[in-house]
Amino acid sequence: MSGQDIKDASSAAAVAGRRGAAAATASADPAVNQDESPLAWLRRHKGRDGRPLISDTAFQAGEKLRADFWFAGMTPRVTANWSAVPGRGSRTAAGAGAELCDGVLAAQERVRRALAAVGPELSGILIDVCCHLKGLEDAETAAGWPQRSGKIVLQLALASLARHYGIEPRQPRGVHVDDGVRHWGAPGYRPGLDDWHK
């Protein structure tokens, strides 16, 4: 091998190493910090019964809403948006902006549908806790609820959201959940016509 071949090989290895590091960095989503999420805290901490305060499916549903909310750019802006400064052109494929715009619009629509599915009573706490990353105490205070009621309302909201997304927990084999109408009548509790003719 000549000196030039060795130099080319080491340069190619360095470029491949940088690409590998960049790919590893890109795959680890830097926009998601699990430590800042109230849902992650609720999933890590256990209640008196030893189970997490929210289930894995509730966590997944809340994080899915959060991801769509942030991708759609629905967070309130405090300052000007400098991401599209004139004169700072970038080299992208033709139509890439349209695809991004379509993705943002689709994410906005998914957020709207999810919040409509849970209803106006439960959507507020989902936006506060999942999207704006407020703690439960702050959400309770903002809504004017009694202390310690936010966890229950959030659990109901996340269960409804998980049902909307179709990520409800699976029942173990052999366990049958009857979703039919239930009543408390004993056999023979309804009067028949024969009782009137006596």
Residue 160 counted as domain residue: yes
Residue 128 counted as domain residue: yes
Number of domains in the chain: 1
Residue 3 counted as domain residue: no
Residue 83 counted as domain residue: no
Asked whether residue 3 carries a pLDDT value surpassing 70, the answer given is no
Residue 102 counted as domain residue: yes
Residue 28 counted as domain residue: no
- pLDDT tens per residue, range 7-65: 444 444 444 444 443 333 333 444 556 667 899 999 999 989 999 999 999 999 999 99
Domain span at residue 144 reads 33-76+94-165
Residue 136 counted as domain residue: yes
Residue 72 counted as domain residue: yes
Q: Which of 174, 145, 183 is nearest to 156 (CA)?
A: 145
Determine the Cα–Cα distance for residues 93 and 90; give it in Å rounded to an integer: 10
Residues 6+ apart with CB under 8 A from 136: 38, 42, 129, 150, 151, 154
What is the reported pTM? 0.62
